[in-house]
Every structure is written in structure tokens, then in C-alpha cells.
Amino acid sequence: MRYPKKLKKGDTVGLICSSSAIGTDRVAECKKAVEDLGFQVKLADNLDQDYGGYMAGSGKTRGEWVNKMFADPEVNGIFCIRGGDGGSRAMEYIDFDLVKANPKVFVGYSDVTSLHLALNQQCDLVTFHGPMVSSNMVDSFDEETKASFFAALEAEDTFEFCNPKGCEIDVMKTGKASGRLIGGNLSLLSAAIGTPYEPDTKGKILFIEEVCEPVTKIEKWTYHLKNAGKLADCAGIILGQFTKIVNEECPAYDVYKCLEEIFEDLDIPVMYNVESGHGKPMMTLPMGALCTMDAEKKSIVFKVER
């Protein structure tokens, strides 16, 4: 599995909505935000389409735009504008042979998790769980999020993940492990079980994050992974941002207490408060890259293979 070729100033970035759309007035803002980073821009034509009230066109339309951007020789990288819903509908239309033959930078998170899983596992491509254009770059591309983003994309031999200043990574279960990083949004990981892009966690480091859900759903989706054998197969687990996760009936039994109990019988390292997900700042992780996590040192280091 390889890192894609680096982006450089003046390169062309394709902007896509693989899940939900943005408003028409937001399209120009997104284009400008990426141009201000020093890139030229190509826009998919479905960015502001309203299909079903929550999707940027049909699954076929969105899947074909993924293909077009990977096939376009002028496009050097692909940034997802936002997540949302409906990404699973696009998966059957993606030409993975085409993607594998045309590796390039691909960035997104949230509902984009399905694409990360497929591109990592079926295309041997390292992708980036990093900031999206409308969700992060237009209004709140803070310096720490930006620095982490470019550090991950431009890394040479190794890339050490760093939390924002003043925010320490915590340890749930001690130990050290190495393996390729896989994962993303918890609900999408659970939904992928039984599909062609089901996460293969054997010997891998599993990354999980989630947003705006009750603890009851975190428990249900994590137990789905556990009962499917996905947690027992892991070399280690990294827990990202669990943003606006609530347990109104019993606030003391929070998401970390719930997860600690689920992971209790696993003899693998588990680190949490890793600031990548739906919070801000949002630090970038290279999905599919070879990762070494050391809970004693609280370090997460990736090997860059180009």
C-alpha cells in the first residue's frame, strides 16, 4: 500500500460531494478556499444538486464523479466538500480498477468512511482522514488543523501524529502495536459488515470516531464490530473524537466508560482523545498507512511508503 504523490502549489484539486450536497452560494466559497491554499480547482457538477433532500444527486451520479476525478489526468488530488448521508448508494458505481491505476490524494471523513475502506483495501491506496472543504476549510481552517493536514500529505519517511497543543492523548489499555490503520466513522464501520468493503481488521490498528449520537448507539455499533470478530482481530485501537455523544439518563456512564467495558477482555493497546473526527481542531490521519502506536509513550507514528 502506497502514499500517493505529493500535492504541490499550482496542482489541480477536484472537489466532489460523494454524499450530501451544499447550497449553491457555498460552491464559490469552497472553490475560493482551495484556491487560497495555492491550488487550481475543478468542480463536480453535482455539488449543489438536491436528490431526495439529503443527497448530491443519485448514487450513480456521485459514484461516477469519483471515477471522473481519478481518471482526469489534470487532477492531482480529490477533496470531499462534506460528508452527510447517502454515500453507501455510490459504492456500487465506483471503478476500483480505474482508481488503482490512477492513485492520487483523497481526503474526507464521516460518511466518506465507506470510500476510505474501499480505496485502502481494494486499491492499495493510502487516503487521508482529514478536513473537508465546506465542513472545515471555508469558515474555520485553524492553523493546527491546517498544519496537521499538510504535514500528513507532505511527509517524507515518517509522519508522527500530534494532537493540538494542550490536548493530551489518553490511554485506556497499555501496550504497543503496529499495523496498517483502518477505520473511520463508527456507524459506517458497523454498516459495512457483510459488504464488499467490510473492514479487514486482522493485524490492523482500528480507528473509530463518532458524532451526535447517544451512548446507546455507540454501544450497539461497537458490539456489532465485536460480535463480528473485528475487535478480537485488531492489533490495537485508536479512539478519535466522540463529539456531542450524550447519555441523558445517566451522564456518569459516558462513552468512554461504555467503551472501556466493551474492550475489557481485549489484550491490545487502546488510546483515546486522539483529536481526529468531527471536532475542532481536526487533525489528519493517513488511512492505510503502516502505524505504530505506543501507549506508554502516547505516540502514534506512520511509515511513509511512496
Amino acid (one-letter) located at 39: F
Q: How many CA atoms lie within 13 A of 237 on its CB side?
A: 25
Give the whole-angstrom CA distance, residue 153 versus residue 78: 12
Q: How many whole angstroms separate alpha carbon 301 and alpha carbon 2?
A: 16
Catalytic option among 64, 209, 210, 275: 209
Please state, in angstroms and rounded to a whole number, the distance separating the CA atoms of residues 252 and 141: 33
**Which one from 18, 135, 187, 278 is the annotated catalytic residue?**
278
Give yes or no for a contact between 6 and 38, defined as CB atoms under 8 angstroms apart.
no
Q: Please list the helix, strand and coil fractions of the chain in percent, rounded to the nearest 5, in that order.
A: 30, 25, 45
224 is catalytic: no
Does the active-site annotation cover 278? yes
**Spatial distance between the Cα atoms of 275 and 142, rounded to a whole number of angstroms:** 14
Q: Which of 18, 19, 20, 110 is catalytic?
A: 110
Which residues carry out catalysis?
110, 209, 278
